[in-house]
Amino acid sequence: MASYRNGRGTVKVDRVQPTGSSNLRASSSFKSKNSIVRRSNSSAGFEDSVSGRVRVAVRLRPQNAEEMVADADFADCVELQPEFKRLKLRKNNWDSDTYEFDEVLTESASQKRVYEVVAKPVVESVLDGYNGTVMAYGQTGTGKTFTLGRLGDEDTSARGIMVRAMEDILANISRDSDSVMISYLQLYMETIQDLLNPSNDNIAIVEDPKTGDVSVPAATLVDIRTHQDFMELLRLGEAHRVAANTKLNTESSRSHAILMVHIKRSVTDMESEITSENDHSIHMSRNSKPPVIRKGKLVVVDLAGSERVHKSGSEGHTLEEAKSINLSLSALGKCINALAENSPHVPVRDSKLTRLLKDSFGGTARTSLIVTVGPSPRHRAETSSTILFGQRAMKVENMLKIKEEFDYKSLCRKLETQIDKLIAENERQQKAFEDEIERTAIEAQQRISEAEINYTEALEREKMKCQMDYMESIKKLEEKWMHNQPKRVTNGFSNGNHSADGNNDHANEDVTELKIMLQKEISLRKRAEEEIHSLRNSQFCPTEADANADVVKLQNLLDEETRQKQKLEDEVLMLQSRLSQLSFGSGQSRYSQIDDRGNGETTSIANLHEHVGLQKILSLLESEDPNVRLHAVKVVANLAAEDTNQERIVEAGGLSSLLALLRSRSFDETICRIAAGAIANLAMNEANQELIMGQGGISLLAMTAADAEDPQTLRMVAGAIANLCGNDKLQTRLRSEGGIKALLGMVRSRHPDVLSQVARGVANFAKCESRTSSKGNKNNKSMLIEDGALPWIVQNANNDASIIRRHIELALCHLAQHEVNAKDMVSGGALWELVRISRDCSRDDIRALARRTLTSSQIFSSELRRLRVEI
């Protein structure tokens, strides 16, 4: 005897549900305790029924990105207590309602766990011959389709209930005797459509007048043999399912999806004993029972989400879809209420959805319902409605039935075939076994005899061969030793003498060479001493007093030079120590800075020229020592970073010295980089710009850009040219001396710092051209376009780096202000970028400038009208 508890009391029955799929039942914690069957012995077939309540689980969806922002200051309206299988729905900060469910699944529950506690018991019952339903209900966007229909192509752990159920079904059926057929439908606008055959778009519901069973015989039915076949059909069905974008869900299902899986299984209790040789009599008696065919149907229903129109923003056709969805869900709710209250009338004919689910609620199917809710307090009303729907569904009682059919003819044919096969196989195996034993014994004896003979002969041959080889080797060695003995004595003496003579000769040659070198050094020293003596005599030939005075004077001069040298060395050391505090910045207006974090005793670079002397610092730029020259140019560059020092540097000839460093043929990229940075700082002053141009600065900067490869060097050079591009008076000369081409040539570096300076220079040049054109001083095409800059400008107009994009957008706007450039910009694709800038630019002034330029230009306006683009 076994017992179970339902919603109303305890019932005792005689037999539990069959265990035809016991390997599925290990983790079925959600399985109803009511899965008990009582059978009769009708020869034509039988139907027994037991009571089974609808099992309901609730699943909480995690917060999405929108809710994290919108509900950041509010507590979630839902609190789960999975250990007690309770859900608390907050009314306010101090009050809440508590509900109990058969299972409570948190937002962290895996897809596997959801399947095992909700759907797996239903799948087991279907494999045992029952009808089963798994259905998801909830507000739109709460994860119903994710729970049921997720395919898991990218992540197998995300597979939904449909995929996992089919995996278990295919793993527990026989491919030879069992069959699995599926149909996939959608209920859209109260019309049943076939997702596997879209042309079949108006399927009728047929109800058996005797049994009341509901079916859709016109639906496409596909035989499933492999899991891959099922996945392809699911993808096909999902592609045909109707979805739309609403405020609550970007892919909101606009139809109810219904997957029907028809399983036909042939059941034989002792099928595994057919080939057993033990207990033959028991086996034959048990196999005399006729085979049973069980038919189960699994229905997986992905309901469309309930929604409120003012929240979802549905309108037009989407609004009509929402009305149809809400009407069908309302009809389902009425049926659930009627069943929960044991009403004599259940309005199942109010909707096609309720007619299709007639067997699932109040019928003969084992039903599991999962209600999905979201945590947002903004949707508390919808969450409360969903929870109450699940609570009412838990009160619905179904009467589970199993249908089995006996197949005596099949049993007879099967047994006769098996007996014939067993007899023939037994005779064949017996004869083959005996023949094999005899053949194996004879063959083994022959092989043993042959192996013994071959081994003895081979051993004897090997022994004789080794003895012969040994004797032959000894004989050859003795002959060779006797032959070489006399030669060794003779060669030993002769070779020894020869080696000794050779070593002596080599040693003598080395000694002779050293003596010659020593004599040369002695003679050179004597000659030098004689020259010094003669010079002294020629200089100090006057009186001894005059000579002493000259010596004292020279000594004083020498001491003064020594002090000056020491002072210069001290200054160089001080400069080197200060260089550790220097850093070269990468801003638009300054290319070096001074780290002023030292203590108060140290002198800042800003007034270093007052302490050491600017002229001395500039004189070090011409030093032959590269290190001294490098340190000096660093100091000058940092001084040039401050406006107060620039005039003094220029007046002292610092600009000429910096340009001379670029002009020197001994190319040192580090010195050139720092010198270019100093020139870039000086070029911020308009007066200095004309001096730079007058001394051939543009040509030198272009030459440096052509030779340099380091991105920082190119950045400094590009910054200097970009500053010069902002002078209206120098544009023609700047272009003629190769400044524009040099600037554009530096984009080969692809370094973002270099590209930002190039973009700034292009923007400055375009701005000056626009200013000149507005004054009527220029009517020709832009020199930037003539030098081929437009393709690069268009290509980088939407660059990922904001600083590059901002300069390029400004350059495009300035180029477009001159009507003569419009045709080239249209043909070069700049028009589309201007349209984008007028719509998407982050800066209001640039966006307004682009819009004003597009509307004021006749060429741009006519082209936009032709393309039907509105600004």
Per DSSP, the three-state class of 446 is: helix
What is the pLDDT of the chain when averaged over all its residues?
Answer: 77
At 775, the pLDDT band (50, 70, 90 cuts) reads confident
Q: Look at residue 818 and tell me whether its pLDDT is greater than 90.
A: no
CA 613 to chain centre: 59
Instruction: Retrieve residue 381's tokens.
Output: 């009303």
At 396, the pLDDT band (50, 70, 90 cuts) reads very high
- Rounded to whole angstroms, how far apart are CA atoms 164 and 20? 19
- Rounded to whole angstroms, how far apart are CA atoms 704 and 800? 28
Q: Look at residue 15 and tell me whether its pLDDT is greater than 70.
A: no
pLDDT of residue 520: 64
Contacts of 837 (CB under 8 A, 6+ apart): 797, 809, 812, 813, 846, 847, 850
Instruction: Retrieve residue 81's tokens.
Output: 């207590």
Instruction: Retrieve residue 800's tokens.
Output: 């990922």
- Rounded to whole angstroms, how far apart are CA atoms 500 and 509? 15
Contacts of 606 (CB under 8 A, 6+ apart): 594, 639, 642, 644, 645
Distances (CA, A) of 762 to 458, 586, 722, 776: 94, 18, 7, 21
- Rounded to whole angstroms, how far apart are CA atoms 583 and 604? 13
Q: Look at residue 579 and tell me whether its pLDDT is greater than 70.
A: no
- Rounded to whole angstroms, how far apart are CA atoms 67 and 374? 10
pLDDT tens profile 718-747: 898 888 888 878 888 888 888 888 888 898
Contact 679, 697 (CB under 8 A): yes
Contacts of 841 (CB under 8 A, 6+ apart): 809, 847, 850
Per DSSP, the three-state class of 194 is: strand
Instruction: Retrieve residue 760's tokens.
Output: 């700034």
- Rounded to whole angstroms, how far apart are CA atoms 370 and 109? 13
Taking alpha carbons only, the member of 651, 708, 647, 715 closest to residue 682 is 647
| Cα–Cα–Cα angle for 697, 703, 706, rounded to 5 degrees | 140
Taking alpha carbons only, the member of 85, 99, 107, 98 closest to residue 30 is 85
pLDDT of residue 550: 56
Residue 598 backbone zone (phi > 0: left; psi -120 to 50: alpha; other: beta): beta
pLDDT tens profile 143-152: 899 999 888 8
E strand or H helix at 727, and its extent? Answer: none
Residue predicted with more confidence, 287 or 726: 726
- Rounded to whole angstroms, how far apart are CA atoms 484 and 420? 91
Amino acid identity, position 501: D
Contact 410, 291 (CB under 8 A): yes
SS3 annotation, 503-528: HHHHHHHHHHHHHHHHHHHHHHHHHH
- Bridge-based pairing of strands 214-215 and 206-207 is antiparallel
Instruction: Retrieve residue 581's tokens.
Output: 């505090």
Phi, psi of 718 (to 5 degrees): -65, -35
pLDDT of residue 194: 93
Per DSSP, the three-state class of 748 is: helix
- Rounded to whole angstroms, how far apart are CA atoms 849 and 814? 9
- Bridge-based pairing of strands 2-5 and 78-81 is unpaired
pLDDT of residue 599: 36
List the single range of 478-482, 506-510, 700-704, 794-798 with lowest mean pLDDT: 506-510
pLDDT of residue 459: 83
pLDDT tens profile 520-553: 656 666 666 566 656 555 544 444 455 456 556 6
Per DSSP, the three-state class of 597 is: coil
Interhelix angle 711-724/669-682, rounded to 10 degrees, is: 20
- For 440-461, b/e burial (b = at least 16 CB within 10 A) is eeeeeeeeeeeeeeeeeeeeee
Distances (CA, A) of 481 to 2, 427, 471, 475, 632: 105, 80, 16, 10, 81
**Strands (DSSP E) found in 189-327:** 191-194, 206-207, 214-215, 222-223, 243-244, 252-253, 256-267, 292-302
At 702, the pLDDT band (50, 70, 90 cuts) reads confident
Contact 24, 120 (CB under 8 A): yes
| Own/partner long-range contacts of 198-203 (Cβ < 8 Å, ≥24 apart) | 198/240
Contact 767, 809 (CB under 8 A): no
- Bridge-based pairing of strands 131-138 and 365-373 is parallel
Amino acid identity, position 859: I
